[in-house]
Amino acid sequence: MRSATVAVGAAGTRFPWAPTSAAVEICASSRTSSCSSPSRSRSCGSPAARSAVSSASSRSSSDPLANARHAAAARILEAVIAVEAANPVVLIDGRSGSGKSTLARELVQRWPLRGRVQLVGLDAIYPGWDGLDEGVRTATDTILNAHARGFIGVWERWDWAASQHAEAHAVDPALPLIVEGSGILTPVTARLADVRVWLESPTASRKSRALARDGETFRPHWTRWAEQEERHLTRDDPRAHATLTFEIP
């Protein structure tokens, strides 16, 4: 499906027990192609970073969608600074087409703290079109729990074309972490994150964006995926666990 940057971390860092293809710095994946921890290290970011967030929040354009996203990013980055940790965890949930991946990439570009931030998109983890719940369990167990406990997390990319797991990737617990994807905000993951975001967007707008982004690949699976999202909404009530909620046109 979409191409998404799924991991950004310590530049050039590799782990001797992981496959050599599992670079921590950057990985790309596609569906159609082959509570804060006690160990948080304190850091409130530099004055320059705070200024950058403030000035970035004043952006405006003639595009209501872009304006909403820029405003959301500014609010989230202010919340990140307020955590006063060097390795905060941000979760971004919302239904398909609500703008999670685009918002996450903007956060990475405007990140206000020193050093790098890791980004994991669940599109790289869901094991197929029926895998929303399993993907969330995998992210919770191998990424979020490990990060909260100060351990290196390791997850395997799902190869949508081959319908099997591919190379492994590592997540550094000393670095900030953003995880985005439908289903990621649950009562369990809420306890493992510092900033929790829910994106609300009209169905017609979401579907139009998702199909424009993914073409005909997603169309036959739209209802199938939406049913899994509905179960997540009913069971987990993600909006109730969000620290920030944004209306996206």
- Model's pTM, two decimal places? 0.81
Euclidean distance between CA atoms 136 and 127, whole angstroms: 10
Cβ(195)–Cβ(180) below 8 Å:
no
- pLDDT under 70 in the chain at which residues? 1-60
Euclidean distance between CA atoms 125 and 239, whole angstroms: 22
For the chain, the domain total comes to: 1
Cβ(15)–Cβ(152) below 8 Å:
yes
- Angle formed by the axes of helices 64-83 and 100-109, to 10°? 60
**What DSSP string runs through 43-77?**
----HHHHHHHHHHTT---S-HHHHHHHHHHHHHH
pLDDT of residue 214: 81
pLDDT of residue 215: 77
pLDDT of residue 50: 52
Question: Residue 25 maps to which CATH number?
Answer: 3.40.50.300
Give whole-number Cα distances, 139 to 31, 65, 84, 180, 232, in Å: 17, 29, 24, 10, 15
Domain span holding position 157: 3-247
pLDDT of residue 201: 98
pLDDT of residue 216: 81
Structure tokens given for 100: 């999670």
pLDDT of residue 57: 46
Angle of CA points 168, 173, 177, to nearest 5°: 80
pLDDT of residue 45: 52
